[in-house]
Amino acid sequence: MYGNFKEIREAARKVSNARVAIPMGHDIASVEALLQASEEGFASAVIVCPEAGLKESLDKLGKKLPPDIRVVNSEDPEEAALRAVALVSSGEATVLMKGMLKTSIFQKAVLDKETGLRTDRILSHVAVVHVPRQDRLVAISDGGMNIRPDEAAIVQIAANAAGVIRALGAEEALVALLAAVEVPNEKMPETIMFERVASRGIPGLKVAGPIAVDGAMDKEAAAIKGMTGDVPGNANVLITPDISSGNIFAKAFMYMTHAEVGGIIAGAAAPVVMLSRSDTPRTKLNSLALGVVVTGGDNG
């Protein structure tokens, strides 16, 4: 399994014909990430954005667009989002990436009935985090799409995240259903739900829950708590009970540690890189590489 984002970016270079379509990708952070992806040789791009805005960012960076990045002029965010999604759904691009536009506009285009990327699977956000203390990658879900998922949704969210971690080379998905405690408590509804999901199991996955973060991630903590099984201490997929805890958890890594993070939307017909407008060029680059490795391009 890949151990960090440097290895993910190296793997992305082995994927051929990866091309990202990015609506309103004229902000400096997005442009920097796209230029770096081109320079590293793992993705070309189509930027659907105001040409004047792109020129302004390039001038500030002192850069010019390479031949493998082209521009489609669009001033309106909604139009830009739909045009970028259409490029992916038609096969002209292989990865969709969110630029400087509102998440609601971006998601609406992704789910558009005519040209969108909807499938029969639930869409869920998967944040892949490099954990410095243990020097490994884990997938955290869902901090970006599903507000308060029920049991059926949790099963699909776990399956989506498992697909991502397997694409990164994990032999098996070890899924921890996170809560504050391991003992079901009626005053903590997520513990009851997670106990039911874990007892029923998820086909193809090893699941434990409810389980706290220490027991999921640290072998010594798991041993002290008397936990047994494959997941405690070894989890590589961490499922949170709602969007708030997932979002806080993933962003705490980003802004309170030196961890590197990348994120994609899983469950769509093509990889979707959906980031905050405040994310750094490095996070955008990592996320693009993640999308390419997971399902982008044609393996050559």
Residue 128, number of CB atoms within 10 A of its CB: 28
235-246 mean pLDDT: 97
Neighbours of 256 (CB within 10 A): 8
SS3 of 15, please? strand
Q: Does the pLDDT of residue 300 top 60, yes or no? A: no
In the predicted model, what is the mean pLDDT of residues 77-94?
A: 96
Residue 253 Cα distances to 41, 108, 133, 214, angstroms: 28, 28, 12, 15
Q: Is 22 helix (H, G, I), strand (E, B) or coil?
A: strand
**Mind listing the pLDDT tens digit for each residue in 55-65?**
999 999 999 99
**Residues 147, 148, 151, 155: what is their CA dihedral angle, to the nearest 10 degrees?**
30
Residue-wise pLDDT for 170-218, tens only, equals: 999 999 999 999 999 999 999 999 999 999 999 999 999 999 999 999 9
The domains located in the chain, with CATH, are 5-118+268-299 (3.40.50.10950), 124-255 (3.40.718.10)
Taking residues 8-29, report their average pLDDT: 94
List the structure tokens of 248: 């806080």
Contacts of 263 (CB under 8 A, 6+ apart): 125, 126, 127, 128, 144, 250, 273, 274, 275, 283, 287, 290
142 φ/ψ angles, rounded to the nearest 5 degrees: -125, 115
Task: List all residues 6 or more positions away from 261 whose beta carbon is below 8 Å from its beta carbon.
Answer: 127, 128, 129, 130, 250, 253, 254, 283, 286
pLDDT reading at 237 higher than 50 = yes
**Reported pTM:** 0.92
Question: Distance (Å, rounded) from C-alpha 30 to C-alpha 275?
Answer: 10
